[in-house]
Amino acid sequence: MLYLVPTPLGNLKDITFRALEVLQSVDVILCEDTRTSSKLLNHYNIHKPLAPYHQHNEHKVVQHLTDQLEAGKTMALITDAGTPAISDPAFLLVRECVRRNVKVECLPGATAFVPALVNSGLPINRFVFEGFIPQKKGRQTLLKQLATEPRAMVFYESPMRLVKTLSEFTEYFGADRQCSVSRELTKMFEETKRGTLHEVCQYFAQKEVKGEIVIVVQGLDR
């Protein structure tokens, strides 16, 4: 049995009772960074064996982990924050479990783009999640395609690249396109800035930006 367990984005209270029960019950907890995960687990007095599962080793360990699951072990997969497989490792292990008929269960819980999307103030009855867009190859092609996307668009971005990305969005989508940028979700310095792409880009260009970032851009109004 493999459980996918969402973990808090920042506020340690944002975890479900069921998630804590699962983490207490499994044989092994797979995590991206044992140091980061230990802070959460120690806070809730959970002491289980930890094993690394991240983007740099997942291809190497997926077969071994699935063998252990087939042999009867129960595992929980967590990431540093949010829901596994949403711009975080999980897909390869889930796919292999499905292929080998190992039961997989995903618990509901924290996912960064959901509060950012709901809080954007933009029409979100339909939306498309793009995650982190390519840094080089395929970036311009994707932006040209998304320029005519009628649904709201959701992106993840790092603080170092935020202004560059907003500048490119302004170029490809238009300076007056409405957007919302949320950062440090659930944390002490949580912030959401709304306005046109030009306005929001100018705002963040004049300050030091920290924290994980979610960008929501209004779709093309046809």
pLDDT by residue (tens digit) across 59-70? 999 999 999 999
pLDDT at 63 (0 to 100)? 96
Q: What is the pLDDT of residues 92-107, one digit of tens each?
A: 999 999 999 999 999 9
**Where do the domains of the chain lie?**
2-106, 113-217
CATH architecture assigned to 2-106: 3-Layer(aba) Sandwich (3.40)
Average pLDDT for residues 136-140, to the nearest whole number? 92
State the pTM of this model.
0.94
Q: What percent of the chain has pLDDT over 90?
A: 98
What is the Cα–Cα distance from 80 to 156, expressed in whole angstroms? 15
Those residues with Cβ within 8 angstroms of residue 54's Cβ, 6 or more apart along the chain or in another chain:
32, 33, 89
Q: DSSP class of residue 160?
A: G
Question: 195 falls in which pLDDT band (50, 70, 90)?
Answer: very high
Reported CATH class of domain 113-217: alpha beta
